[in-house]
Amino acid sequence: MISRKMKLASATIGASAVVAMGTLTAVLSDDSSSATYVSDPGTEMTLGETSTLEKAATEIPTSVAVPEVTAEVPDGFGP
């Protein structure tokens, strides 16, 4: 009998907690549907610098990889 009452009390507390979390989420969410103005609507729009495109190189420069440090091969690992 006591365990049945305990289960009912636990279920009631859990359901209340879920309802409270949902209510707090709805109240505290910042869902403003109004438009947001970043700048004053009366100011003029400014444009940035104009960039020019250069023709791409026809051949890609390649480099040769040279190790900076050389090591001796241990016995049994090479010719």
Write the pLDDT tens digit of every residue in 3-46: 999 999 999 999 999 999 999 998 888 766 555 666 666 667 66
- Is 61 domain-assigned? no
Number of domains in the chain: 1
Cα torsion 37, 38, 40, 45 to 10°: value is: -120
Domain that holds residue 15: 1-27
- Is 9 domain-assigned? yes
In terms of pLDDT, which residue wins out, 20 or 52? 20
- Is 5 domain-assigned? yes
- Is 56 domain-assigned? no
Burial 28-64, CB ≥16 within 10 A → b, else e: eeeeeeeeeeeeeeeeeeeeeeeeeeeeeeeeeeeee
Task: Give me 11's structure tokens.
Answer: 């279920």
- Is 42 domain-assigned? no
Global pTM value: 0.38
